[in-house]
Structure formats: C-alpha cells, structure tokens
Structure 1
C-alpha cells in the first residue's frame, strides 16, 4: 500500500473528485461515511463546510489521502477490506473524531481509494498534519 496525503481548502473539488462527479469514464463508489448527514455529494460538502467554521484559524481544512494497492491485490481487496485498512490507516495517523468519507475508484488497474476528511474535528480542534 502506498499512501499520499495532501491538504487544501476546497471541499467541493475534493469530494467531487473522490466521488467521480462530472468525470466521464471514471467510476467511484462511496464505501463509508462518518459524521455526514447524507451520502449525496452536495450534502457531504455542505456538512464539511459547516463544521470547518468551528475553527477559523485552520487555513487548510481539507484532508485528502489516496491509498493505492498493487494490481495483484485486486482479487482479494474487497470493499470491506479497503474500508478496514483505511480506518486502520487513519487511526495510526491520528485522524479521528472528525467527519470523513472513503470512496473507491474503479478507473485504474490497481485498486485505490480516496479518504476525504475535515481537518476541523467534531470539537473544533485542528486535526494535526505533523505525520
């Protein structure tokens, strides 16, 4: 597994990318969501935006992780295992007590998923980026 972590300030673009909204030829599945009220892209974006206002000092409130696996793992990497591995990864990185989604992309030969999370946690504190 290879992880790539970035941060930014555009929930709309990141969520729309993770869910492959308006991207012809790309297929994505929302595998898991926590802390959001609905599974529609706009509702997810709205929920993230609402929570980020709990802490005005955080300048880059969007967290994005891409987890990529070997093409050889395709046959055994079910959606459930991808969620399990993603949750373990987040726990080890200290990303907890916040909103997030996990979406699987099906457009490449190697299995991969995207985790979009709010760097403003449920208590208004900043999720550390000192990984």
Structure 2
C-alpha cells in the first residue's frame, strides 16, 4: 500500500479526471472505473457530483483549489483480497487517520492499470463551512498507511522501500548542490555531476515551471517528497536570495587604498636589511602597511632597543 498526495484543483478537473470524463472514451470505457465509496455526494452522473461538491464549497467561495486528491496503490500480491468493499473500508480508515472528517468525499477505483489502486477526492471545505485541517499531511499519511498495512497484513511494496532508501541519498546531494547556488542552471550542472537530473513540471496553461523533480535514471522523486525545502518555489526563492545577497556583498566591500613603498635596497647585507627581511617574511600578508611606515627606520629602532637591552643586562650582572 502506497499513498500519494496529489495536487489539489477544481472539482471540475479532479472529479473529471477520476471519472475519466476527459479521456478517450474508446479506451477508457465505463468498465475501467467505478465509484466504490462516497459521502454526502450525488453520484448519478458527473455533473451532479461536481454540483454536490460546489454547493458546500459555496460556504467558503474564496478557497482556491478546493478539491483534495489522494491516490492509494497496492502491491499486486494483495490483489486477490482487494474487493470493492474492502477498498472502500480502507479509504475510510485512511481518511480517519489523516483527520479528514466532516466533509464530502468520493472514492473511485481504476481497473485499467496493472496495479490495484483507487482515488479519493474530498472537499477541502467541511460541512461546517470551515477549512479541513491539512497540516503535516505527509507525516499523517505515512503514519496512516503504516497503521493500515500492519492491521491488515498488507504488503510493504518493494518500490516504496526503494523510494525510501533513495531519499537520504537524494537529500544529501541536493543539499550540497544548493549551497550558495544562484540559478537553476548552476544547480542543474552541480547535480548532473552527482548523477542527478533536474526535471520540471510546467503549468499546462502558462507553460511556466511550477514544480521540480529529481531523477537518477532509476527512480524519480518530487522535490517535496524528499524534503519540503526542495519545492520549486522554495528553491527558486533561495537562488534569488543568493543572487541579491551576493550582489549586495560585492557592492558593499570598501575599496582599500593602494600603498606603494619605495626605497633603495642596500647594496650590502646589513643589520637593518636582515631585520626588515625577517620581519616582512614572518608577517607575510597579515598586515597592511600604512602610508607613514618606514621599514628601515623601524628596523633601526628595533636594533637600537635590542642593543640597549643587552647593555642593561650586562650592567646588572656587574
């Protein structure tokens, strides 16, 4: 059993998708899908279903994309047990585990694919005219799925395990690539070196990027499935911040005045020359010499002080 929380939308679109209203009628006949559960919905036809949902959405008309959408798939090993009644019961228990209650929902089973699965469409506005609590949906979903699998002895999908095993690897590589990154191109190049391809999901109307996913050639994971910090919007905001921050930093760096020190080098080795050479060699580039600094004068003073200290030590011994 494996649950996917899909993008929410309008009831026209989501109900139309699960009931195959926009598919080729020759390929997706009424025998390829069936309604196996519902609550507070007229299910006689597509129009009635949409109208039922929209009536409750009218309590909060400003709620955008009011149709919640979740797909739940099962391993083929469990197929003999998955009657319509059993699937409907699992859908109900899953929604209870998710905390999706006091609202309308529709459960539609699809039969044309190679693996058993059903879709849940629910109203994100509940029967009291308030928003359904969807905080921490992904964590709730994982917990609900695990509880149901353990309760009924359903198969832990090898594919699901594979996805879970790959997540830490993807997360590590993406986290490293995004550090200090200023553009999607730079980000994509960095990840390509780590064997990860960046792919985008585009809005079908505007053609603009609205989602991002990552592939290693074996599996593909949505950014939000790996970590909430890896959604398209958050990554895009991060790159924009890095660009602006880097620009501000470069503009705010004060220009250091150039100081040129010119003096004639001694032709013969001298005490002063030796001291200057040792001092400069030890300090290296740690200090910037000011415009009033005279290295020969400073070396001479150091030598005088050294001789004076020796003289005082000798006088004390006497």
Same fold? TM cut 0.5: yes
More helix by share: 2
Give the RMSD, CA atoms, in angstroms. 1.4
- Tell me which residue corresponds to 2:89: 84
| Superimposed CA distance per residue, residues 18-74 of structure 1 (whole angstroms, 9 cap, x where no aligned partner) | 112242323110111111134311101011112112013422311001000011211
Structure 2: runs of 5+ lacking an equivalent? 138-318
Q: Give the secondary-structure state (helix, strand or coil) at the position aligned to 1:49.
A: helix
Asked if the contact 1:7/1:61 (under 8 Å) is kept, the reply is no
Relative contact order (alpha carbons < 8 A, sep ≥ 6): 1 or 2 greater? Answer: 1
Structure 1: runs of 5+ lacking an equivalent? none
Matched, 1:29 2:73: no
Identify the match of residue 112 of structure 1 among 91, 108, 117. Answer: 117
CA shift for structure 1 position 7:
4.2
Equivalent runs, 1:6-85 vs 2, <5 Å: 6-24=6-24, 25-26=27-28, 27-85=32-90
Range 80-89 or range 29-38, more displaced: 29-38
* Larger radius of gyration between Structure 1 and Structure 2: 2
Runs of 4+ in 1 over 3 A off after TM superposition: none
What is the alpha-carbon distance in structure 2 between the residues aligned to residue 4 and residue 34 of structure 1? 21
